[in-house]
Amino acid sequence: MPKRLALLLLRGAPATGLPSPAQPRAARYWPRLALSLLVALALPLLGVGVGALQARWLLQQRADAVADNAIIKLDRMITNGEMAGKAVELYAGRPCDIGTERVLQRQVATVPYVRSVNLSLRGQLYCTSLLGAVTETIDAAAYTDGRLRLRPGNITTPDVPVLIVRRPVGDAAILSVVDGRYLQTALQLTAQGSELYFRVGASHMDSQGRVGDGPLPPLPHATATRTSAHFPYSVVAGSPDGAVWTYMLEYNLALLVLTAGVGLFGGLLCYRLLGRPSSPRAVLQRALDAGQFEPFVQPIVNADDGVWAGVEVLARWHLPGEGLIRPDLFIPMAEQTGQILPMTRELMRQVAAALAPHVAELPPRFHIGFNISAAHCREPRLLDDCRDFLAAFPPDSVELWLELTERELIEPTDDTDLLFQQLDAIGVKVAIDDFGIGHASLNYLQRFAVDALKIDQSFVKRIGADTLSAHLIDTLAALATKLDIDLVAEGVETAAQRDYLQALNVRYLQGYYFGRPMPVGEFIHAHRHQRAAAETPAQPATSQ
Ligand code: C2E
Ligand code: CA
Ligand code: CA
């Protein structure tokens, strides 16, 4: 495993690119994708929501202002019609002679917006500024409040809308005609993008100058209705369907683009963050769930005849994309996070499942050693794990060894005393690992009823090189004999080391000279060969 990766792993949450354990990748992929999409969409949706609210509010403001303005402008125009009528009031009902005609024409010429001024008597139009004397029936009831009438045209200009302002004087009336084109221009200039209607009775005119009867077309958004305080008409301003979107795209495009961009960024960030292992604990848990830890076993041999007497179980991590990871890179992390307990349990389960079917081929009371940490000794469940392990084999066919490293001595308490008594009662053996580099006292060895000492490989390596190591091994051998404790020498790599340790009556040897750590299946094959060649020393194996 690359050193960089190991460092990242040991430091905890890696900054970049630590490949996450792959197995339940599919199971993790969809929630990760779904959450990332949710994040990516949430902000744009919020942006659209806020934008839509703002657009509605602004459209409503605009409609209110448009309606108010329209009333002011239209009142002013209609007042002109009203004034023209008032100015010729004395002529109402008078004969339509040249004098009367002139008076009417003067109003048309002088009063803004007024196209013609006409007189009627008892329902008959009889005098107009444009044509002089005429005869036409007038329907007074068609006038709203008897005062205003909006028409698509009249006899002189059938295609030009007109607003007729009626001023009743006794039996007679004055009809001032306001040109519809002025009304239309006023509506058009006021509308500012809103839909705007001028409504007189059942008739209405839009800002394009079209006059119609009946209900107004629907204005679903931001509608404002105003009624004139002086004349019987009203205006309605509002926005048609889709106006909110059009408005947003026109005025809030920057906000929409910004929120979409930030949403996309957030979604990608979320996807990336969720994809990286969040903590060493999460990394290990996924690896455990994915079954990426595998037990390798290394033979332990009888020093006197070279026969394989047992194995030490050594954890290996198959990290996808990274290959096999050495235990010293992840065991400290597993100890810190507490996952060493389930990990050891899993190794025990796998070893039992793989070795139990072949137990008949193994020597009687075959040793199977597991490395345990201080955390295990605070955990009463260790007893159950050991029981379960032993129960997988026929009674007394194997011996379970627990190796406690001397580098990390466990605190003796009443609970640990009880645990070790119970372990002893079910036949579990205890070995002190890496012996010689820590501070285990005689008292300590006795209190834990230690069955074996494993001489640290640093001393074995120096056999023949310095006298101090040889002296220490000699002393240990004497101590072991005195305490009736077995000795195991680790890290035996040469025949010379083997011979030296054999001569000192060290009972068990372990090291590359006899066999490297290997998968259990490979071990079973190798053991068959070893049995066949029991008399000759084993060749160094090739597994790692
Ligand atoms: P250890 O318990 O002292 O295990 C012996 C280590 O020495 C193993 O390294 C083994 O591969 C290596 N070794 C054996 N023979 C030779 C040899 O002849 N020459 C050399 N140079 N090395 C040899 P490995 O497998 O890398 O394990 C390292 C350490 O990780 C172990 O040291 C043990 O402390 C820890 N470890 C491994 N598996 C587990 C586990 O399942 N639980 C716990 N708590 N610790 C474990
Ligand atoms: Ca060990
Ligand atoms: Ca050791």
Task: Check residue 540 and give its pLDDT.
Answer: 54
Q: Is 196 helix (H, G, I), strand (E, B) or coil?
A: strand
Cβ of residue 295 lying under 6 Å from some atom of ligand 1 = no
Cβ atoms of 244 and 52 within 8 Å: the answer is yes
Task: Check residue 482 and give its pLDDT.
Answer: 85
**What is the sign, positive or negative, of the torsion defined by CA atoms of 412, 413, 419, 423?**
positive
Enter the tokens of residue 63. Answer: 């409609």
Task: Check residue 48 and give its pLDDT.
Answer: 87
Cα(442)–Cα(440) distance, integer angstroms: 7
**What is the sign, positive or negative, of the torsion defined by CA atoms of 487, 492, 495, 496?**
negative
**509 C-alpha vs ligand 3 centroid, how far in Å?**
12
What letter does residue 144 receive in the DSSP assignment? B
Cα(507)–Cα(501) distance, integer angstroms: 9
Residue 409: name the closest of 437, 382, 367 by CA: 437
Cβ of residue 433 lying under 6 Å from some atom of ligand 1 = yes
Cα(116)–Cα(80) distance, integer angstroms: 12
Measured from the CA of 343, which atom of ligand 1 is nearest? 41
Cβ of residue 406 lying under 6 Å from some atom of ligand 1 = no
Q: H or E segment at 483? A: helix 467-483
Cβ of residue 346 lying under 6 Å from some atom of ligand 1 = no
Q: Give 22: exposed, middle or buried? Use CB within 10 Å, 0-12, 13-18, 19+.
A: middle
Ligand 3 being an ion, which residues bring their Cβ within 5 A of it? 433-434, 490
Question: How far, rounded to the nearest angstrom, does the alpha carbon of residue 231 sit from its chain's CA centroid?
Answer: 61
Cβ of residue 491 lying under 6 Å from some atom of ligand 1 = yes
**404 C-alpha vs ligand 3 centroid, how far in Å?**
9
Phi-psi region of 181 (alpha: psi -120 to 50; beta: other; left: phi over 0): alpha
Q: Is 432 helix (H, G, I), strand (E, B) or coil?
A: strand
Cβ of residue 298 lying under 6 Å from some atom of ligand 1 = yes
Task: Check residue 387 and give its pLDDT.
Answer: 96
Beta strands in 471-537 (DSSP E): 486-489, 508-510, 518-519
**456 C-alpha vs ligand 3 centroid, how far in Å?**
5
Cβ of residue 369 lying under 6 Å from some atom of ligand 1 = no
Buried/exposed code over 201-212 (b: 16+ C-beta within 10 A; e: otherwise): eebbbbbebebe
**Atom 17 in ligand 1: residue holding the nearest Cα:** 491
Measured from the CA of 513, which atom of ligand 1 is nearest? 18
**531 C-alpha vs ligand 2 centroid, how far in Å?**
24
**Atom 46 in ligand 1: residue holding the nearest Cα:** 371
Contacts of 73 (CB under 8 A, 6+ apart): 186, 189, 190
Pocket test for ligand 1, best of 288, 371, 509 (most atoms within 8 A of CB): 371
Cα(352)–Cα(359) distance, integer angstroms: 10
Cα(145)–Cα(228) distance, integer angstroms: 13
Strands in 124-128's sheet, in edge-to-edge order, are: 132-137, 124-128, 114-121, 172-179, 162-169, 148-151
Cα(199)–Cα(216) distance, integer angstroms: 9
Phi-psi region of 318 (alpha: psi -120 to 50; beta: other; left: phi over 0): beta
Measured from the CA of 296, which atom of ligand 1 is nearest? 25
Cβ of residue 347 lying under 6 Å from some atom of ligand 1 = yes
Measured from the CA of 334, which atom of ligand 1 is nearest? 44
- Alpha helices, DSSP H, located in 210-252: 243-251
What letter does residue 215 receive in the DSSP assignment? S
C-beta pairs of 340-343 under 8 Å, 24+ apart in sequence: 340/373, 340/375, 340/376, 341/375, 341/376, 341/379, 341/381, 341/382, 342/288, 343/284, 343/288, 343/293, 343/315
SS (H, E, C) 338-369: CCHHHHHHHHHHHHHHHHHHHHHHCCCCEEEE
Task: Check residue 377 and give its pLDDT.
Answer: 86
Cβ of residue 493 lying under 6 Å from some atom of ligand 1 = yes
Provide the 10 A C-beta neighbour count for residue 98: 8
**84 C-alpha vs ligand 3 centroid, how far in Å?**
117
Measured from the CA of 492, which atom of ligand 1 is nearest? 18
**Atom 29 in ligand 1: residue holding the nearest Cα:** 328
**Atom 8 in ligand 1: residue holding the nearest Cα:** 314
544 residues of the chain, pLDDT tens digit each: 444 444 445 444 333 333 344 344 555 678 888 889 998 998 889 888 888 888 888 889 999 999 999 999 999 999 999 999 999 999 999 999 999 999 999 999 999 999 999 999 999 999 999 999 999 998 989 999 999 999 998 877 888 999 999 999 999 999 999 999 999 999 999 998 889 999 999 999 999 999 999 888 877 777 899 999 999 999 999 887 777 888 888 877 888 888 899 999 999 998 888 776 567 888 888 899 999 999 999 999 999 988 999 999 999 999 888 889 999 989 999 998 889 999 999 999 999 999 999 999 999 999 999 999 988 888 889 999 999 999 999 999 999 999 998 877 788 888 888 999 999 999 999 999 998 887 777 778 878 889 999 999 998 988 877 777 778 888 888 888 888 899 999 999 999 999 999 998 899 999 999 999 999 999 999 999 888 876 565 455 544 5
Q: Helices 253-275 and 25-87, interaxial angle, to 10°?
A: 170
Cβ of residue 522 lying under 6 Å from some atom of ligand 1 = no
Task: Check residue 383 and give its pLDDT.
Answer: 95
Cβ atoms of 331 and 340 within 8 Å: the answer is yes
Pocket test for ligand 1, best of 314, 331, 513 (most atoms within 8 A of CB): 314
